[in-house]
């Protein structure tokens, strides 16, 4: 019965369900949930359960994407500048981090890159630094993980590999970059 509940809850949620909430609903601990998900791996034809951040969700199997794209338009990602990609990488690897620290690393102002990344939902405010002025701390979002294909931040590759992945995605037209203005 737990497999049916798991499938129904994930289907109904759309965007995914927090791992702790799933454990509560299914009355299992996290190890039992992981085991249950492994058992269900091949239960839903055409779908798979994927972890994104602290949630599990249903996703379409990648090999079926060409068929799905015939009825559902692929998500268009707003073009990002190379400055925004650089800022995103700094945030991903150093989070939580303030704009001041980002600008210190980059050596230039990053206000517009941060605005663009907030608009694309790749980063979010995650708190405030306990320092004069209480500057905002930024971190990445589940949307960042989903877009770049990571289940958790622990899967982030070495910085050089991440840069290569971004460039590959651009070549495959999954991302577009704007030229600096």
Domain-wise residue ranges, the chain: 2-68, 80-178
Per-residue pLDDT 10s for the chain (181 aa) are 888 888 889 888 878 898 999 899 999 998 999 898 888 877 778 888 888 888 888 888 888 878 888 888 766 666 788 899 889 999 999 999 999 999 999 999 999 999 999 999 999 999 999 999 999 999 999 989 988 888 888 888 877 777 777 777 766 665 554 444 3
Give the per-residue pLDDT at 175.
58
The CB-side HSE value for 50 (13 A sphere, CA atoms) comes to 19
What is the predicted pLDDT for the residue at 174? 58
Query: What architecture (CATH level 2) is domain 2-68?
Result: Orthogonal Bundle (1.10)
pLDDT score at 138: 98
Task: Report the predicted TM-score, pTM, of the whole model to 2 decimal places.
Answer: 0.67
Look at residue 151 in the predicted model and tell me its pLDDT: 85
Strand partners, 57: 50
Helix ranges (H only) for the chain are 2-13, 19-26, 30-39, 65-68, 82-94, 99-106, 111-119, 142-148, 159-171
Alpha-carbon gap, residue 131 to 128, rounded angstroms? 8
Calculate ∠ Cα 143-20-122, nearest 5°.
10
How many CA atoms, within 13 angstroms, populate the side-chain half-sphere of residue 9? 19
Going edge to edge, which strands form the sheet with 136-140?
97-98, 136-140, 123-128
Whole-number pLDDT of residue 70: 85
**What is residue 107's three-state secondary structure?**
coil
Q: Which of 153, 161, 149, 105 is nearest to 126 (CA)?
A: 153
CA dist., res. 118 & res. 151, Å (int): 20
| Domain 80-178 belongs in CATH node 1.10.10.10 | yes
Three-class DSSP category at 91: helix
Q: Fold match between 2-68 and 80-178?
A: yes
Q: What is the pLDDT of residue 179?
A: 45
């Amino acid at each position: 019965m737990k497999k049916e509940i798991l499938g129904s809850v994930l289907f109904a949620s759309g965007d995914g369900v927090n791992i702790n909430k799933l454990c509560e609903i299914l009355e299992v601990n996290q190890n039992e949930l992981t085991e249950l998900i492994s058992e269900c791996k091949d239960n839903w034809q055409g779908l798979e359960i994927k972890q994104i951040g602290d949630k599990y969700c249903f996703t379409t199997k990648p090999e079926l994407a060409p068929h799905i794209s015939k009825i559902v338009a692929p998500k268009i990602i707003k073009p990002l500048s190379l400055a925004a990609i650089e800022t995103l990488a700094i945030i991903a690897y150093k989070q939580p981090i303030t704009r001041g620290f980002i600008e210190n690393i980059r050596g230039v102002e990053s206000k517009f890159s941060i605005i663009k990344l907030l608009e694309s939902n790749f980063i979010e405010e995650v708190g405030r630094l306990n320092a004069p002025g209480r500057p905002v701390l930024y971190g990445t979002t589940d949307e960042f993980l989903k877009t770049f294909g990571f289940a958790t931040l622990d899967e982030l590759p070495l910085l050089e590999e991440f840069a290569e992945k971004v460039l590959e995605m651009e070549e495959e037209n999954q991302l577009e970059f704007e030229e600096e203005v």
